[in-house]
């Protein structure tokens, strides 16, 4: 069922591939790990959700806070990874990027109790992410798999994927995909907090 949900989101957003995970935070983390950001300094707005700098630091990079306003999504510069937690609309995918979605929280268009997704167009990254989110496992019976990759336990619970798949009907009216405006969040200035000094 997870694959069906991924296909629905990919079709709606215009992305060639979509990988469901357990949170937007882990979507960002995995995207940064694929991009091998260790030692890099990544610029983000100083007013964003706290998990974004945490994901950057946990991926081995450094954070630079920038003073600018944003709405819907922003780029984790200089990577092509985007925090798109406050954007969910038809044909939103930007070619050549990894756009990280959130389905957690009251502001989201698609409100699951928890979950995220990565939109992308790189097949190699897609194949790596599918395994990375599931402890490095291939999509096959456990006892038949050969473990040759260390991954993380970031897969989306199947019951959430089912709910997401059903809720995707609300993204259409009479078979036509709906266009939704970007959302503006309210966040504290993370550059002032001790964890990021």
- CATH code of the domain covering residue 125: 3.40.640.10
Is residue 107 over pLDDT 90? no
53 φ, ψ to 5°?
-65, -30
Is residue 106 over pLDDT 90? no
Structure confidence at residue 197 (pLDDT): 85
Is residue 1 over pLDDT 90? no
Distance set, CA 58 to CA 29, 52, 122, 137 (Å): 7, 10, 23, 22
Report the number of distinct structural domains present in the chain.
Answer: 1
Average pLDDT, the chain: 96
Mean pLDDT for 100-125 is 95
Is residue 12 over pLDDT 90? yes
How far apart are the C-alpha atoms of 125 and 117, rounded to whole Å? Answer: 14
Could you read off the pLDDT of 26-85 as tens digits, one per residue? 999 999 999 999 999 999 999 999 999 999 999 999 999 999 999 999 999 999 999 999
How far apart are the C-alpha atoms of 143 and 193, rounded to whole Å? Answer: 46
Give pTM, 2 decimals. Answer: 0.96
Structure confidence at residue 47 (pLDDT): 97
pLDDT, greater one: 13 or 140: 13
Number of helices (H) and strands (E) in the chain: give both, helices first.
5, 9
113 is in which domain, residue-wise?
2-196
How far apart are the C-alpha atoms of 75 and 42, rounded to whole Å? Answer: 10
In degrees, to the nearest 5, what angle opens at C-alpha 94 toward C-alphas 90 and 97? 130
Could you read off the pLDDT of 124-167 as tens digits, one per residue? 999 999 999 999 999 889 999 999 999 999 999 999 999 999 99
CB contact at 8 A, 53 and 44: yes
Q: Find the DSSP H helices in the chain.
A: 2-13, 24-34, 51-58, 123-132, 158-167
How far apart are the C-alpha atoms of 160 and 115, rounded to whole Å? Answer: 8
Could you read off the pLDDT of 72-96 as tens digits, one per residue? 999 999 999 999 999 999 999 999 9
How far apart are the C-alpha atoms of 16 and 144, rounded to whole Å? Answer: 29
């Amino acid at each position: 069922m997870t694959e069906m949900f991924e296909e629905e989101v990919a079709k709606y957003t215009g992305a060639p591939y979509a990988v469901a995970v357990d949170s937007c935070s882990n979507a960002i983390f995995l995207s940064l790990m694929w991009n091998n950001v260790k030692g890099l300094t990544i610029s983000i707005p100083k007013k964003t959700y706290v998990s974004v700098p945490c994901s950057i630091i946990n991926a081995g990079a450094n954070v630079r806070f920038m003073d600018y306003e944003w709405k819907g999504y922003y780029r984790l510069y200089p990577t092509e990874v985007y925090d798109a937690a406050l954007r969910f609309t038809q044909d939103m995918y930007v070619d050549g990027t990894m756009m990280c979605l959130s389905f957690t929280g009251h502001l989201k268009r698609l409100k699951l109790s928890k979950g995220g997704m990565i939109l992308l167009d790189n097949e190699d990254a897609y194949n790596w992410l599918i395994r990375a989110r599931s402890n490095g496992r291939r999509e096959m019976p456990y006892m038949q798999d050969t473990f040759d990759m260390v991954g993380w336990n970031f897969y989306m619970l199947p019951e959430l994927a089912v709910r997401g798949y059903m809720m995707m009907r609300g993204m259409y009216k009479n078979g036509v995909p709906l266009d939704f405006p970007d959302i503006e969040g309210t966040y504290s200035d993370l550059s002032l907090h001790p964890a990021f000094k």
